[in-house]
Structures are given as structure tokens and as C-alpha cells.
Amino acid sequence: MGRKPKPGGNVKIARIDTGGPFDLGQVLDSGQVFHWETGSLDGQPVWIGCLGDEPVWLAQPDPVTVVCPAGEAARVAHYLGIDEPIARLHATFPADDAVLAEAVAWCPGLRLIRQPVWECLATFITSSLKQVAHIRQISLTLRRRFGVPHQIAGQTVFAYPTPAALAAAGEAELRACGLGYRAVGLWRTASALAAGDADLAELDALDDAEAREWLMRFHGVGEKIANCVLLFGCGRHGAFPIDVWMDRILRERYFGPRKRKTLKPRELQAWAEAHFGPHAGYAQQYLFHFARKTF
């Protein structure tokens, strides 16, 4: 992604200052979203996908610049989390945390994506006990079978299916997409939203604890998935998802042998939220990506 795209013809571009070190490929492949694909535009490498229902291409000509189609700069900056000053977020991290400092130094270009809440909820319902590669395969299959196709940069990309589309598909069809037991949770959630029995806009009026409980009413949504939705979809930086990778790095790097064995999951969750501060979720993503790639 190192060369500057030189679009020709009628392609007009916008350039976005990332406000600090940024790694587009790392951000799009850090376990937050699962559908972006590489392509080319006028012979230059780009990432191609959808921001919600709209197709877009993205490129990075240098460490502090992202390039996208003209007119999309504000939406792209919000989606990639580069409209927030990263130094201000880092300033809230515990100053004496050598483990977190090591993780940030290993992936300084990482940012939190702010994706559509429905897409985030649905994707993480399908993620339970799955590796990133498997989640990506499921996401792409659902998009190709039930999503709206779009043409961009000479390729076809698909928006994430609407709740109505997945509700109409039925549980059996979702199982055929490789979801297994996760199909029932996705289908029931999509059906509830499509029928108007629940509205994701309700989350806006709730605090983090209330929003977490609200999300956990959906079949297949536990505390970890609810925290993922709050963090990656709602921009609630206090949310701290703990999966097997996070459980491992927290226990092994922050606690001695005896404590790490006896610490209960609820105690670990409370400790992490208090220790990492108001932007604990941001710290979580650095630690998660670091652990997943280096352990």
C-alpha cells in the first residue's frame, strides 16, 4: 500500500491526514471487520469494500495519509477512527504499563473502526468460537448470498445483508452458510429487528451498562459479544471485550502464576476496565492484535 494511487479519467480523490502513524492494512485486518479485499485502481493497490451500504476504495500512499474517492473523506475518517486525536486517547492509558506500551509500539498504526451497529452485531454473533479467517469466510458468504452487490474499481463488492434479508432467508439457509449453531442467534436477532420488536437506535439513550444488558437480550449475545458491539459499533471506548487471546495476555503478562490461575473471569473484567481507564477498549485492541500476532 506504499505507492500513491494516480487515478485517471473521471476518478477524483480526497486525501485525509491521519494525525499520526496509521496502517490501513493492519486496521482492516485486526479482527474488527472481516470483509475488505485488496484490488487495484489505475494499476495501484487499493482496499475495496463497503461502508455500510455504499462501496468505497481506500489507499495509503504514506504513513500519515489515506486516499479515498472525492466526497467520502468525512465518512471514511469517521469509519477508520482517524477523526479522533490519537495522542489524546493514548494520554489516558496507565503511564507505568510496560505491557501496553510494548503492544502500542508493536502496532502504532492501529485504530478502532466505527462500523454500522447492525453489521457489527450480526458479524460478532457469527464469530463465537471462530478464528478470524473463519469469521471472514462466513461474512463474505452472507454478503454474497443475501447482500446488495455494488461495482467499484472494476470489482463487485456486497453490502452486509439487512435484518429483513436475513430474516427472510430463514435459519436453515443461514446454517448452509457455515454458521452452525450460530444461525439461530443471527436469524432470531434479524427477525426481531426486521419486525420492529427491537430497535438498535435505543442504544443511544442508554449508558454502557444498560446498553450491554439490552444487547444481551438477543439470542447468542453474551457479555463479550455485547462489548464488541459497544466498542466497534457504538464507539463506546470503555467497553473491554475479553476473548481467549485477551484472557491469555492479561493473565500471563499482568499477574503472577498463583493469581492468574485463581482469578475469576468477572474479577479479570473488572480489573481491566479499572486499570486501562476511560478508553480501555482502545487499549484492548492494541493488546488483542499484539497477542494474536505474536503469541
Whole-number percent of the chain with pLDDT over 90: 87
Query: Is the Cβ–Cβ distance between 119 and 189 less than 8 Å?
Result: no
pLDDT of residue 207: 97
Rounded to the nearest 10 degrees, the angle between the axes of helix 280-294 and helix 244-254 is 90
Confidence of residue 67 (pLDDT cuts 50, 70, 90): very high
Whole-number percent of the chain with pLDDT over 70: 96
State yes or no: pLDDT of 198 exceeds 50: yes
Question: What does the pLDDT look like over 85-108, one tens digit per residue?
Answer: 999 999 999 999 999 999 999 999
Q: Which three cell numbers stand for residue 264?
A: 475469576
Per-position DSSP letters for 164-209, written without gaps between them:
HHHHHH-HHHHIIIIITTHHHHHHHHHHHHHTTS--GGGGGGS-HH
Residue 92's identity, in one-letter code, is: T
Q: Where are the domains of the chain?
A: 1-83, 117-233
Work out the mean pLDDT of the chain and round it to a whole number.
93
State yes or no: pLDDT of 258 exceeds 90: no
Question: What does the pLDDT look like over 3-41, one tens digit per residue?
Answer: 444 444 456 899 999 999 999 999 999 999 999 999 999
Question: What does the pLDDT look like over 150-163, one tens digit per residue?
Answer: 999 999 999 999 99
Question: What does the pLDDT look like over 207-257, one tens digit per residue?
Answer: 999 999 999 999 999 999 999 999 999 999 999 999 989 999 999 999 988
Q: Which fold has domain 1-83?
A: TATA-Binding Protein (3.30.310)
pLDDT of residue 3: 41
pTM for this predicted structure:
0.92
Same CATH fold, 117-233 and 1-83? Answer: no
Mean local confidence (pLDDT), 254-263: 91
pLDDT of residue 8: 42
Q: Which fold has domain 117-233?
A: Endonuclease III; domain 1 (1.10.340)
Mean local confidence (pLDDT), 117-129: 92
Lowest mean pLDDT among 7-11, 169-173, 191-195, 230-234: 7-11
Q: Which three cell numbers stand for residue 133?
A: 479467517
pLDDT of residue 283: 97
The C-alpha atoms of residue 14 and residue 289 are separated, in whole angstroms, by 29
pLDDT of residue 10: 58
Confidence of residue 295 (pLDDT cuts 50, 70, 90): confident
CB burial of residue 172 (10 Å; 0-12, 13-18, 19+): exposed
Q: Which three cell numbers stand for residue 30?
A: 485486526
